[in-house]
Amino acid sequence: MIATLTEVLSGALTEGYAVPGFVVLGWEDAVAYVRAGEAENRPVILQAGPGCRAHTPIPILGVMFRHLADVAEVPVVAHLDHATTLDECKKAIEAGFSSVMFDGSRLSLDENIRRTEAVSRLAEEHGVSVEGEIGFVGYDAGETSIGTDPEEARIFAERTRVDALAVSVGNIHLQRETDTAINFNALRAIEAATDLPLVIHGGSGIPVDDCRRLATETSVCKLNIGTELRQVFGAALRSGLDRYPHRFDRIEILNEVVDPMTDAARDILRRLAPRKSGLD
Ligand SMILES: [Zn+2]
C-alpha cells in the first residue's frame, strides 16, 4: 500500500527503528526492495534521486513506484530525493509520488526556508510529505560537509513545516568504505532543538553498530542507502555474466541481481532495528 513519509516515520520514531530510503535505479532493484520489506514485515521507502531521474522520466518512475506500492503487503513510500526546484516537486506529485525532498542545502538559510516552505504548501494541498535539509551533507572526494547548526534546525523546522529533516552530523554521500564517524553529541543537540524525525543521507558509509544505534536510540528515522546496494548490483551482474558468458537476453541477465539485492536490503532492514536475540 502507498504511504507518506510521515506515516512510516511516526511508527519508526515510537517503536525505535528506522526506515531505509532505498536508492532506486531501475525495476529490478525496486522489486528487490519491496520483497525485502515484505520478508521482514517492515515499511520501505523507494527513492528516485537525480541520477535515476536523468535515466528514467519522473512520470514513468511515479507509475512504477505506485504499482509496486499498490501490490505490496507493507507500506511503501514513493519518494523524490534531492529535488532542487519547485517544478520538479510538482511533476513528481502529479506522477504519484507520496513524498518529496527539497534540497536547499546549497542556499542561504533564508532562501532555503523560503523555497522549502513553498514546497511544503504545495505538498500539503496534495497530502504529500516533505523532507528538507539543513546544514550540508558533503560528497566523498567532493564537496565538504557543513555541520547542522541546532538553532538553524529549530528555525527551519518551525518556518518550513517539513515532515522530516535531513541533517549533517559526520555523514557523507557516496562512501564506499564503512568508516563514517557520526557525531552523536551534535545529533543530541539537534534533537534537543526540534521534535522532527531526522534523516541521515550517506548511510552506506556508516558502520553497522552505529546504524543500529542511530535507528534505535535517536530520533533518526530514515537512513538513505545507495552506494552499498549499487555495489551489490554490480557484483551480482558481473558474476552472472561470468558464469553464463553466452547469455544475451536482457531480462535473463538482469534477473540475476534480484535475489542478491533482496538479501542485501533485508540485511539493511535488520541493521536498522533492535537486535533480535541470537538471530543477527
Ligand atoms: Zn542525499
Query: In this structure, what CATH number is given to the domain that contains residue 94?
Result: 3.20.20.70
Whole-Å CA distances, 185 to 48, 150, 181: 31, 11, 12
Asked whether residue 12 carries a pLDDT value surpassing 80, the answer given is: yes
Residue 247 lies in a domain: yes
Number of domains in the chain: 1
Span 145-179, pLDDT tens digits? 999 999 999 999 999 999 999 999 999 999 999 98
Residue 121 lies in a domain: yes
Residue 276 lies in a domain: no
- Say what the pTM is: 0.96
Residue 278 lies in a domain: no
Q: Considering only CA atoms, which of 194, 166, 221, 265 is closest in space to residue 8? A: 221
Q: How much is the mean pLDDT over the chain?
A: 96
Q: Which of 29, 70, 81, 209 is catalytic?
A: 81
Dist. CA 141–CA 157, nearest whole Å: 30
Q: How confident is the model at residue 280 (pLDDT cuts 50, 70, 90)?
A: low
Q: Which residues pair with 199 in a beta bridge?
A: 166, 222
Q: Give distance in angstroms: CA of 241 to centre of ligand 1.
A: 31
Residue 280 lies in a domain: no
CB 11 within 8 A of CB 33: no
Residue 119 lies in a domain: yes
Which residue is listed with cell 550517506?
A: 202
Please tell me the chain's helix, strand, coil percentages from 3-state DSSP, rounded to the nearest 5.
50, 15, 30
The torsion angles phi and psi of 228, rounded to 5 degrees, stand at: -55, -40
Residue 279 lies in a domain: no
Could you confirm whether 242 is annotated as catalytic?
Answer: no
CB atoms within 10 A of CB 84: 16
Residue 24's domain comprises 2-271
Q: Give distance in angstroms: CA of 203 to centre of ligand 1.
A: 9
Q: Considering only CA atoms, which of 97, 154, 155 is closest in space to residue 130? A: 97
Q: Give distance in angstroms: CA of 204 to centre of ligand 1.
A: 11
Dist. CA 92–CA 102, nearest whole Å: 12
Residue 241 lies in a domain: yes
Q: Considering only CA atoms, which of 134, 67, 121 is closest in space to residue 89? A: 121
pLDDT of residue 275: 87
Quote the distance between the C-alpha of residue 144 and its chain's center: 20
Grid cell locating 227? 552506494
pLDDT of residue 248: 97
Q: Give distance in angstroms: CA of 35 to centre of ligand 1.
A: 23
